[in-house]
Structure 1
Amino acid sequence: MRHVALVTLVVDDYDEAIRFYTEALGFRLVQDTPRPDGSRWVVVEPGAEGQGGQGTGLVLGRAKDEAQRARVGDQTGGRVGFFLHTDDFARDYTRMRAAGVTFLEEPRHEPYGSVVVFQDLYGNRWDLLQPAPTA
């Protein structure tokens, strides 16, 4: 079996990004390891403690130069580039709103499921999505 294990998300600050993803989105911190060059290997993934391996993790990579800093918050040119699936849309939407997550629209109920677009602390667009049950 093969799957995409990690995707890099360029961020301004490790600790700020860790706080947002763990506190506002409910991800868990999988790894935070210093590297010899002064950078850190930081991985977060959806799911609470003890629920690892629930999908693709994010490598939070601090921007190292001006070209990378220019991509922070706009890694997909303004499109929704990340999709956070949930098994309880109302629970996660309510918790995320209470945590101060910025939603860009009201929740919608589409044939494919319940969805709402939100942005992370840098402006990257995400879908919170509870897929419709399959027939």
Structure 2
Amino acid sequence: MKVTIISIPVRDQEKAMKFYTEKLGFLVKKDEPLGGGNRWLTLVSKDWEDGPELLLEPGPNHFEPCRVYQDALLEAGYPYTQFDVDSVDAEYERLTKLGVDFSVKPTKMGNVKFAVLNDTCGNNIQLVEYL
């Protein structure tokens, strides 16, 4: 068994695609219309194109419990998911220059350094570097 797709809820797939590709550097893997303005929209890491796909899921627009959960996580400051990076400091510098908003600046805790950013689509995303 292996993980092939991880879903992240987004309220605007087009806006999310632009943020995740233009700011975070992901690549579009699949973009297929599903009807009703929804798409099967997956991304992959430019560093691991054969790795797991990130599905930009329009769930909060169609399923109220998804919206409530997403809102609660965002309001509490909890990250929806985590992306590993080689250097949190380098990503923080690069992304802040691109206008990305961080709620937690690079912070060392035990054997990791992490930072938390807002993806502009309803989620906090944690970046983690293993020291």
* Fold shared by both chains (TM-score > 0.5): yes
User: What is the CA-CA distance between 1:20 and the residue it aligns to?
Assistant: 0.6
Identify the residue that residue 30 of structure 2 maps to in structure 1: 31
- Whose helix proportion is higher, 1 or 2? 2
Aligned Cα root-mean-square deviation (Å):
2.5
Question: What are structure 2's unaligned runs of at least 5 residues?
Answer: none
The Cα shift of 1:122 comes to 2.6
1:62 is matched with 58
Q: Distance in 2 between matches of 1:26 and 1:72?
A: 26
Gaps of 5+ in 1: none
Q: Deviations over 1:41-65 (max 9, x none)?
A: 10012225xx4034x3221122442
Residues 64-94 of structure 1 deviation map (CA, whole Å, 9 limit, x = unaligned): 4261673484374632221110113232211
Question: In 2 relative to 1, CA 96–114 (structure 1 residues): closer, same or farther, beyond 3 Å?
Answer: same
Identify if the C-alpha distance between structure 1 residues 57 and 112 changes in structure 2 by more than 3 Å, giving closer, same or farther. Answer: farther
TM-score (norm 2): 0.80
Equivalent residues of 2:4, 2:53 under 8 A apart: yes
Size of the alignment, in residue pairs? 128
Counterpart for residue 20 of structure 1: 19
Q: What TM-score do the two structures reach when normalised by structure 1?
A: 0.78
